[in-house]
Amino acid sequence: MSEPPAPEEEEDDDEEETNTAAMNQLAGMASASTPEPPAPEEEEDDDEEETNTAAMNQLAGMAPAELLALFAQFAMHHRAPSAATNQELIEMLEKKGELTSPAVIRAFLSVDRKTYCVGADDEDAYADRPYRSPQRIPNGTAVPRAIHLSAPGIYARCVEHLDLKPGLSFLNVGSGTGYLSAVVASLIGPHAIHHGIELRTSLVELSRTLAAERGLSSIVFHNRSFRAVDPKASMKFDRIWLGAASNAEERTLAAQLLKIGGLCVGPFECESGEQHLAKLERCGAHELLTPADRESELPIRLCWAGDVRVRQTRYLRVSFSPLLRELRELRDVAHDVLAEPHEPLVLRAPVWGSSVPAAFPPSFLHTAAILFLGVTRDLGAASNSASTAAEHAAAAAAASAFASQAAVAAVAAVTAEEP
């Protein structure tokens, strides 16, 4: 009987989702068929038989199309071809039908996966399979532990399902090294509201560095747990990606963080313990299924996630590691995480004066610069006239109210953006 999988890190968008639960059980059945020394007790044989029976029962309950998809994934996982370059990898995903939208294809072409697969050679970086970093690369350089990216094909499907457009806000739960955030930024723009949540401190630091190198310093990466988010105090998002299997409580939290009409894609656990890659769309309390929903080949239903009504679309069975839910688990698995503080995590829109200027679009920065120059001009005029001390003080107060620290940053940002 195969051993249970080792504990995985929390919310990485890096879990090995191309294997389904049934595939794992098939692997266990295969290993069980290999001749081994006789077990010391008959009870172990009984457990093995129960595992095989459960796997057969699960397979028997699957529709023919699901079985074909299951074995196709199983074969793909073991024979995943490797490309020589990032462009060849994307072309391979196009041929497989996992990338279809021209904008999404351009976004994946613009981000070299190898940059985010630290320690990987070309064969590992450009293969359609998950990547987990070694402890050290051949030259002896230490690699941040727990770097783990999902298979490119899974990312491609999820980005296609998220229907990303310029200006949409995005939350990446389990942001890892920031690969998916970089791809998404190419679709929503560098000034869109963009947050990432990651437990491991080393990965948060790495993701910030890699984002800054791409001019994406406006992305805010939080070194916290998803379960620490306060949904009432936080802003609502247009799009959310969950990179680890979520239970009913975490599904509710994600739904509460969505705007009406917002989408969340990720692996969700059902009552039977199975996981499905699914899309949640937050909708009104009295919304009904449309004729198109009823005619869809995919299972679509309206349901409640806590107090939030969602339209749920299931795509395929998957097997992700779950979000870690206890501080003990976090310490056992991710040794470089910060101790979880008691204060809730509040996800906010950028605030003028405290957020980096890159978090705001050029039109806003130009407006701020014009206001700054206008106020300082009025202040200079008041200083040079025979005005009273009270008038001069009022002008100074007006200047400092809006244009003190932030406006100086805005002028610098606008100057830097000019050709």
Distance CA 328, CA 68 (A): 40
The pLDDT tens digits of the residues spanning 304-328 come to 999 999 999 999 998 888 886 655 5
The pLDDT tens digits of the residues spanning 93-104 come to 999 999 999 999
Q: Which domains does the chain have, with CATH numbers?
A: 21-78 (no CATH), 81-333 (3.40.50.150), 357-417 (no CATH)
Question: Which pLDDT score, from 0 to 100, does residue 58 have?
Answer: 60
Distance CA 323, CA 327 (A): 12
Q: What are the b/e assignments for 342-369, b being 16+ CB within 10 Å?
A: eeebebeebebeebebbbbeeeebeebb
Which has more pLDDT, 386 or 223? Answer: 223
For range 134-158, the mean pLDDT = 76
DSSP characters for 19-85?
Answer: S-HHHHHHHHHHHHTS--PPPSSHHHHHHHHHHHHHHHHHHHTS-HHHHHHHHHHHHHHHH--B-SS
- Most confident segment among 29-38, 101-110, 127-136: 101-110
Provide the 3-class DSSP secondary structure of residue 279: strand
pLDDT at 40 over 60: no
For range 49-60, the mean pLDDT = 59
pLDDT at 108 over 60: yes
* Single-letter amino acid code for the residue at 357: P
Question: Which pLDDT score, from 0 to 100, does residue 36 have?
Answer: 45
Question: Which pLDDT score, from 0 to 100, does residue 361 have?
Answer: 73
For range 153-160, the mean pLDDT = 96
Tokens of 146: 């727990």
**How many beta carbons lie within 10 A of that of residue 235, not counting itself?**
15
pLDDT at 42 over 50: no
Tokens of 150: 């999902």
Question: Which pLDDT score, from 0 to 100, does residue 166 have?
Answer: 95
Question: Which pLDDT score, from 0 to 100, does residue 298 have?
Answer: 95
For range 273-296, the mean pLDDT = 94
Distance CA 102, CA 118 (A): 28
The pLDDT tens digits of the residues spanning 363-407 come to 777 777 777 776 666 555 655 554 566 665 665 565 555 555 555
For range 106-114, the mean pLDDT = 98
Total residue length of the chain: 419
Burial environment of residue 182 by CB neighbours within 10 A (0 to 12, 13 to 18, 19 or more): buried
End-to-end CA distance of the chain: 64
Question: Which pLDDT score, from 0 to 100, does residue 376 have?
Answer: 63
For range 343-356, the mean pLDDT = 84
